[in-house]
Each structure stands twice: as C-alpha cells, then as structure tokens.
Chain A
C-alpha cells in the first residue's frame, strides 16, 4: 500500500485541505468499524503512540492510538492555520508540520516565490524529508493551492519546484483553484500566468477548478433541497457539500460548501488506491493513461451524484443518469463544456455497487455523443472500487483530458494582456514625457547659447576690423565657420523657434495628448 502526502499552501489551500482531512476521517470512520489501523488508513494518516510523547515511533498494526495527518501546512500569515489548530482538527496536525510567517505575501507572486521561497527553502525541504521518511512507500504528493493569490501561487509553485528536485520519482498532483473573471484581487491574472508556467513544467497532473462552477453547484443543491420536489427528501450527509457531523448548531463558513466539493474530488481520486475493488486504478495509472504528451496534463473533473434522494431502491435508471450527468456542463468543476470539444482521453472511477456490465453499457451508450481524437477512439480508462462514499450507494468521478480547457486559459491570457498592455503603455508615456522635457531643456540651452553668441558677435563687430582679422585667422576660422553655420540656420530667437517647431513641437503635442488620455485611463 502506498502513502501520499498533502501539501496545502496559502489561505485557499489550507481551507480546502482542512475540509479534506475532515471528510477523510469521516470516510474512514464509516468503513473501519473495528478501530484497527489498517493499510487504507495508512495512506493518509500515521498512527502514533502518544504515551511516549509526540516523538514516539509510528505504530504500524493494532488499534488506533492517535492519528496524525501526512500533511504540510504552509501559509505566510497566521490567521487560517491558527484557526485550524484551534478547531476540531487540532489533534490531527503536529506543530512540526507547519510553516507560517506573519506578514503574508500581499497577493504578489514574486514575494511568495522569490522572497519567501529563498527564506524558507531549507525549512520546507527538511519538513518534506521528515514526512517522506515516515512513509513506507511514498507514491504521490498532493498540492492544494489557489492561483490568484500570492502565497498559494508563488510559494506553492516554489514547493512544486522543490518537490521535483528532491523527490523526482514521486508523482505530483496539483489541485489549482483558478480565479474567476470578477475576482477581487487585481493582480490575480499576473499571479495565475506566472504560476501556470511553473505548473506546465513541473507538475505531473493538474486538476483545474473554478470558483464559479463550485458556486453554481452549491446553488443547484440549495434549490433542490428547498424546492422539495415531489415530496422527496435529500439525505443530509449525502450532499457532496456537507461536512462531517452535519454541524447543525454551528454556522457553516461561507466557502465550506464549495471546499467540500474539492475535498470529495480528492477522496474519490484516491479511493481505488486505498480500498479494494474488482478493477483497481492506482494514482500512477491515472497519470499514465490520461497524459498522452508531457505538457498536456490538465484534467477536467466532474463528480456525480451531488446528492442522494432518500428512497432506498436505486433502479438502474438512476445509475445511467449518474453517467450522463458526469458529462454534462453543469457538473464540471471548471466553466467548460467537454461534450462540444475533443477528448484526448477519459477516465471513469466508479465507487460502490456497480458492476462491469453497467459500466460497459453506459460507455456504449455515451460514446456516440462524444468526440474522441482520431488516434484514441476507444480512449477509456475504467476503475471499479467496491467501497462507496459516505451517504451514497455509488458514485462516479470522471477525469477528462479535453480541449475544453483552451477557452479558460485563453480568457486568463486575455486578462493578463489587458493589465500588461496598460502597464506597457504607461511606461511608454512616461518615457516620452521625459524625452520631451529633455528636448525642452536642450532647446532652452541652445537658445541661451544663441544669445550668448549673439552678444559676443555684437562685441566683436564693435571691436572693429582688428578683431575681424583675428577672427579670420587660425582656429578662429573654424569657429567662425561653425558659428556662421549656426548663425545662418537660426540667428535669432525666431529661427530658434522655427527649429523648435519643426521637430520638437509635434512631440510635445503628442506628449500632452498621451498625458490627457492617461489621466482619463482611456489607454
């Protein structure tokens, strides 16, 4: 059995991660009735003997003493991590698994990546090594972060870089929350694009997620609950957005429902690696089958069902509905419609009491409506896990390597270019203004020079021929030639003005024009 380590970076990463550990504990509690520390638990948790203090050796068999998560919590400000440590999950984390700072990254990728990266590099490497040493056979690192912020995107991608250097054999799965168009962080396009470059080169698999989609799913569920269609009720703990223990008294925090969806995604992804089934699908198989070319590793994910109705009998129609839903636009975790685009590869991970005939029947049924690339016409990877998630009798996770991620990335690029162009134009304007000022000063100096020379020539004429003779000889000739040239061109302030008019005046006009527009932010 292999182990995985979760690295949660930034506010978003830590909040999602917190929900993940909560739901993982709930899932294992539902399956593991005897309280024995088994191999399924060991993939995400360590079992520590608390009697010898926190530094005791791991207990590999026998009853569960104290479970510690295989996780690393990184945040450059203390608020979120402190909240986790004061909440119900405080015993799951060790103080040695945290890296925090006080001031935050100020929504700046460069601060997160370059400044904090350098400062905390040794610390991070040491803690990662420790976490890896506790694992018997480390297979995968899961990184959870957001792309719009500073810590999540900057320091998160720095950690990704580190993981590739220090542990090249271990897979790196990244769950990235992409910013939406109406994001309130102004620099989010810059942060996202800079982070994307790192993801392109160092991640094995990226699961992009958009807040808009999560929000729509949450709304849909609320509508379903509140409409009370046909007198059917929804089982509370089956909601893909619900937390453990169904906190009835506590007010759920605003992003909790959305974060639960992402946590469920991660749980379903790893379910076949943890629990038994008739057709196992391990994490390295996901990377092997869904990544045909090294840089095309962005997977669109969808989770169904979102809730279970409280009837006991589940006719196979419901099962087929689950498969159809997985390919519909509403259930995808990014704003995209995979049915309209080209599939390079698709994976279906089914949990629960579903047999291979149901799977084959649904694949046959759905194939005609999906477009697959020419060299991969039967590009399906399937997995069957016998243990269903909590509250459901079966569930399906669909991962698709599909060209529908293109519009999302193009939009991101457009937002980046809009900001960048504005910045570029304002730099140009500033440079032009500086040039204009230099020209003005130069012209003033020339005019002054003209005046000086004019006076001098006056004096010279007043001094009579003698001076003229002197002027006409030797080096003075050259000066006279130069001076007479200049004199010929622009001997008066008026001619100086003419010179000024010819070249410099249009420049000044343009400068004023740009300044005007800059003030009105019309550029």
Chain B
C-alpha cells in the first residue's frame, strides 16, 4: 500500500524533502536492533510505501511538488539528487514564475482553477504507479499564500477526484509572534476549508518545534533546516511500517486507514496532535538508555497536561477520580477522544499500556477500549533504541486555535487588509462563514 505525498509551497517542499531524507536514511541503515528477516520485511514495506523503483536503481519518492515560484523546487530537486540514495521523479513537479504573494485568495481563486488540470494530471500519474493506493498525504503551511490557498483548493480537487481514498493533511502552524502579517486570515480560511474536504488534519506548531530544538536538541542557532528535521523525525515515527493490533504477523497494509479510522470517529473532531519521545541530539544517543515504564509515564503526563515535550511537564495535573462527575473536570486537564501510541524498539511486546486506557482520560460517549490503540514494532527507528509516538485527537490544539481565531477576528473587525483579498474574488460573507465554522469546532472541543 503506497502513500502519495503532495508538497505545497515553500514550507511543504522543504519539509517534504527532509521527510524523505529521514525515511531513506532509516531504511538504509542497519541499526534495526532486530532479526534480519524482520529488518528486511520492514525495509521492503517501507520502500513500497514511499518510493517507487526506477530503472536507474535509485528509488524515486512518490511525491508531487507544487509551488508557484521556481526557486524552492529547483533547490529541493537538486538536493535530493545529490544525496545519491534517493531522488524525486524529474517530471513530478509543477511550478510557475510568480508566487502567490501570501494571499490566500490569490492561491485559491486564481492559481487553483488555472492550474487544476496540470496538477491533477501529475497526481494521477503518481497514483497510477502504485500497485495499491493507500491514500494521499499533503504537506503545507497555513501562513503563506500557495501552501494555504492553493493547498485548500488542491485538497478539494483530490477529494472530488478520489472520493474513496484517505486524505490526511499535514499543516504547519506559524510562529505566534508573526512570520507573515496576514497569517491569521490565511490560517482561518485554510482550516475552515480543509475541515470540509480532508479526513484529518495533523498539526505541527513552529513554536513547539522551536522549543524542542532549543531545549532538547541543544541547537544554538536554530535554522529552518533543524526545525524541518525534527518534524521529519516525528512524521517518520508515525508512518514507518508497524504491526497493528489485529494485523497478524505482517506489517500494516493500510497505513492511513488504520491511522484514521480509530482516531477520527466523529466528523466534527478532526484535529490531531503529534508527540514523540525521546528527542535528543544524535551525539548524546549513544550515552543514553531508556526504560519503557519511564518513557510511557512521561508520555501519559504529556497527554494529560497538554505538554509539548518531556521537559517542563506539569506533574500537578491529574485526571479526575472516578467519583467526580465529568462536568467538574479541571480546565487544564486534557480530555481525549481517541489516542494512538506507537512503540518501536527493543522489548516492545512486554510493555503494559493499561494506564492509557483509564476511562477518565476520555469523553463519556466513547468506550475506552475503542478509543485507545497501540501499535508495537520491534524494529527500532532512526537510531533510537526505544521510541514512542503519540497521535492524539484531543484538546491539544484548542488553545492555539482559539488564539488564532481571536486575532483574525480582531483584524477583521477593523477591516484591515480586506481590500487585498476582495480584489481576488473573496467576499466578506465568505470570511464570516469561515469564522462560524471554526467557532463551531472550538466549542465542540471545549465541551468534551
């Protein structure tokens, strides 16, 4: 089962390149810490999922690169080719001369319809190369013009063209202190449109990853490359082949389906957060050792206290006891709808995950047995002897979302920058519709 990746905009392309690099280096490394057959089976499965075999012997990534200006794509293609282990297909990219100018309306109403056919043809070609299509994975940022506007349009087109395929959007939340002045408008418009067409939104926040780089990875001068590498590591730990709960002895044949079906039981709740421990600089890896109980204790507290990483967790936050009715839950306690824990590494089958099935962690209308899933794989990932990833559909993103909608509304009330959007075809009513959709999402998550 193969996944086709669509990389949109500067952010999408830069991250996509790091993701494939990380996947390739994980496949090619021999540090599987497991038996040879296991390792080979893992490598086969991963290669089929993300790369296609070309005549030249160098695997080509199953990806379509889209951007409205040529600089980033040409840089990405050349860097991939120079690595020697993998490359992008030389025809699977689409670019224009002039960018979208950070304007969502420009990306959605102008560039989208104009280039729809060309982009969809490229996607169709990639999809046809797969023996079995597992679904689509799009990478985009919310702050810019191409990633957000054109990304929302392309998602809609993918949904129309492949109505039965899984569609997972990976969305990058911009820095709170501003990368682009109109980022709040672009974010609100993107999220509301993606909510209608996509199956789920997997979110990474720039602020959080920046903190991980600064505090855990000890990087002094953090560049976007470092941020992208952390994101790639986290994505890889989710998407690399695993044994699912009822999947028998082989690796999962339906990665996106197995991921999305338990996690998104209700169409109103589609925001997924991702946490991964441990995270440390490569140089310290050789000197560290971990135990599963320790890792899982930290992971559970990260989930409960809405923390971002293993440092700075608030250990005071506890789930309410079963005697307290659910309406009195303390405010910073994180209620989940569904959780998925993915464990990779040594001694994985002896791990006890009973703590995660505590009913007080979940909403009342879902059975904890259905809400929690665990996947265990003996093959280690990316040189980490033991690593655990948590994909959670919970109130992780409630506060950031509320913040962004509040700021966007503030700007909208003063009618600032609206003339830039209306000249490309969007009306004020469209803005109001988007605000309404997101307010609905916020209130649904608050009332869990």
Nearest A residue to B225 via CB reads A278
Cβ-neighbour of A355 out of B175, B223, B414, B420 (below 8 A) = B223
Residues of A within 8 A of B182 (CB): 288-289
Give B55-90 interface residues, CB cut-off 8 Å to A: 69-72, 75
Residue pair B179, A279 in contact (C-beta under 8 Å): yes
A307 to chain B, nearest CB (A): 24
Cβ-neighbour of A376 out of B100, B214, B411 (below 8 A) = B411
Q: Evaluate whether A285 and B102 lie within 8 angstroms (CB atoms) in the complex, with A278-B14, A278-B225, A375-B410 already known.
A: yes
B243 to chain A, nearest CB (A): 38
- In the bound assembly, the distance between CA atoms of A291 and B71 in angstroms comes to 26
Residues of A within 8 A of B247 (CB): none
Residues of A within 8 A of B177 (CB): 360, 363-364, 367, 378, 380
Nearest B residue to A2 via CB reads B98
- In the bound assembly, the distance between CA atoms of A378 and B71 in angstroms comes to 28
Residue pair B75, A137 in contact (C-beta under 8 Å): no
Residue pair A279, B72 in contact (C-beta under 8 Å): no
Say yes or no for A287: interface residue by CB 8 A criterion.
yes
Q: Produce 1/0 per residue, B390-423, CB < 8 A to A.
A: 0000000000000000010011011011011000
- In the bound assembly, the distance between CA atoms of A333 and B14 in angstroms comes to 36
Residue pair A278, B180 in contact (C-beta under 8 Å): no
Residues of A within 8 A of B72 (CB): 276, 280
Residues of B within 8 A of A345 (CB): 181
Q: What total of chain A residues lie within 8 Å of the partner, measured CB to CB?
A: 40
Residues of A within 8 A of B91 (CB): none
Residues of B within 8 A of A367 (CB): 177
- In the bound assembly, the distance between CA atoms of A473 and B101 in angstroms comes to 95
Interface centre among A2, A284, A291 (most CB of B within 10 A): A284
Say yes or no for B244: interface residue by CB 8 A criterion.
no
- In the bound assembly, the distance between CA atoms of A490 and B213 in angstroms comes to 105
A159 to chain B, nearest CB (A): 23
Cβ-neighbour of B181 out of A290, A293, A358, A374 (below 8 A) = A290
Q: Evaluate whether A276 and B75 lie within 8 angstroms (CB atoms) in the complex, with A288-B102, A358-B221, A376-B181 already known.
A: yes
Residue pair B10, A279 in contact (C-beta under 8 Å): yes
- In the bound assembly, the distance between CA atoms of A345 and B182 in angstroms comes to 10
Say yes or no for B97: interface residue by CB 8 A criterion.
yes
Q: Evaluate whether A139 and B98 lie within 8 angstroms (CB atoms) in the complex, with A288-B103, A291-B420 already known.
A: yes
Say yes or no for B293: interface residue by CB 8 A criterion.
no
Q: What total of chain B residues lie within 8 Å of the partner, measured CB to CB?
A: 42
Q: Evaluate whether A378 and B98 lie within 8 angstroms (CB atoms) in the complex, with A280-B72, A355-B222 already known.
A: no
Say yes or no for A39: interface residue by CB 8 A criterion.
yes
B297 to chain A, nearest CB (A): 31
Nearest A residue to B417 via CB reads A292
Q: Evaluate whether A285 and B75 lie within 8 angstroms (CB atoms) in the complex, with A279-B179, A379-B178 already known.
A: no
Q: Evaluate whether A357 and B101 lie within 8 angstroms (CB atoms) in the complex, with A1-B70, A380-B177 already known.
A: no
Give B166-225 interface residues, CB cut-off 8 Å to A: 175-182, 210, 213-214, 219, 221-225
Cβ-neighbour of A375 out of B175, B178, B414 (below 8 A) = B414
Residues of B within 8 A of A294 (CB): 419
- In the bound assembly, the distance between CA atoms of A358 and B226 in angstroms comes to 14
Say yes or no for B380: interface residue by CB 8 A criterion.
no
Residue pair B221, A360 in contact (C-beta under 8 Å): no
Q: Produce 1/0 per residue, A179-220, CB < 8 A to B.
A: 000000000000000000000000000000000000000000
Nearest B residue to A278 via CB reads B224
By Cβ-Cβ distance, the 7 closest A-B pairs, closest first, are A284-B101, A380-B178, A137-B97, A357-B222, A378-B178, A292-B416, A355-B223
Taking Cβ atoms with an 8 Å cutoff, the residues of A that contact B are 1-2, 39, 136-137, 139, 276, 278-280, 282, 284-285, 287-294, 345, 355-358, 360, 363-364, 367, 374-382, 384
Taking Cβ atoms with an 8 Å cutoff, the residues of B that contact A are 10, 14, 69-72, 75, 97-103, 145, 175-182, 210, 213-214, 219, 221-225, 227, 407, 410-411, 413-414, 416-417, 419-420
A-B contact pairs, 27 of them (CB 8 A): A1-B71, A2-B98, A39-B71, A278-B224, A278-B225, A279-B224, A280-B69, A280-B71, A280-B72, A282-B99, A284-B99, A285-B145, A287-B101, A288-B103, A289-B180, A289-B182, A291-B417, A355-B221, A356-B223, A357-B210, A357-B221, A374-B410, A375-B414, A378-B177, A378-B407, A380-B181, A382-B179
Not counting A282-B99, A288-B182, a sample of 6 additional A-B residue pairs whose C-beta atoms are within 8 angstroms of each other reads: A2-B98, A137-B97, A276-B75, A284-B98, A358-B221, A375-B413
